[in-house]
Amino acid sequence: MIATPVAVPPPVALAAAPARLVLPASSRAVIRVANTGSAPLDVRVSRAGLSLGQEGRPAVGPRPAPAGWLFVSRTRFRIRGHTAVAVALRAGALRGVRPGDHATLLLLSAVRPGRRAITVALRVGVVVVVRARGRVTRRLALGSARVARQGRRRTLRIGVVNRGDLDEWIGRDRLRLSLWRAGRVVARPAPLARRLLARSRGVVVAPLRGGLRGRYLLEVRFRRPRPGTPVVHHFDRIVL
């Protein structure tokens, strides 16, 4: 007799898609909330603020967006196992709000029906960016660079400030790092992609690999997000 493993679905599992969406003022969208487990779930939708850590890790912020910025079609519902429901969203008119992006967080908290204990079985978040109308600017500024060491692991940490009105995605297509020595490029560290919220600051991290040692000139270059936007160019002397 040959025993074969059988995949058993988890009794409690919740997912939401998309994980992030942008809603211009007065526009509408739908998120799909799915119960991929076998047990039914009671789901409660609440709003919270969104903050990003220095390296871009999302966290629940201290204050949610004002109630008139975002409307949710349903805040409490039950999902049977292996089914999904649609939750409609509508952005407010955002009159008098500074033009550009304003990020908030929708929290979906799920519990098993009939459980007396008031404990959250699981919670997922959907980032909703409401975008107010008006003229916006895109402006990124670079801070200083330093080398961080943790055991044998070394990383470049480069400060960056988003003084613009739109959230910015900073990936390898936007940010280029070069280490120079004796007039030539000896390495191009690859930065870890991250998002930087409008009107915020953070750190871009790039792991350092290989046996680089000594003094180098670090060239940091932001590529143009769109035609007509100035390239940000910066040099720093570092010691590895």
pLDDT in tens, 18-44: 999 999 999 999 999 999 988 899 999
Helix (H) or strand (E) run with residue 88 in it: strand 83-91
Q: Do domains 14-132 and 140-239 have the same CATH topology?
A: yes
What is the full per-residue pLDDT of the chain (240 aa) written as tens digits? 444 444 445 667 899 999 999 999 999 999 999 999 888 999 999 999 999 999 999 999 888 889 899 999 999 999 999 999 999 999 999 999 999 999 999 999 999 887 555 565 789 999 999 999 999 998 888 888 999 998 888 999 999 999 999 999 998 888 899 999 999 999 999 999 999 999 999 999 999 988 888 999 999 988 766 665 666 777 888 888
In the chain, where are the structural domains located?
A: 14-132, 140-239
Stated pTM of the model: 0.85
- For the domain covering 140-239, report its CATH number: 2.60.40.10
- Give exposure, 3-27, as e/b (b: 16+ Cβ within 10 Å): eeeeeeeeebbbebeeeebbbebee
End-to-end CA distance of the chain: 60
Task: Tell me which of 2.60.40.10, 3.40.1010.10, 3.40.50.300, 2.60.120.10 is the CATH number of domain 14-132.
Answer: 2.60.40.10
Q: Exposed, middle or buried by CB within 10 Å (0-12, 13-18, 19+), for 133?
A: middle
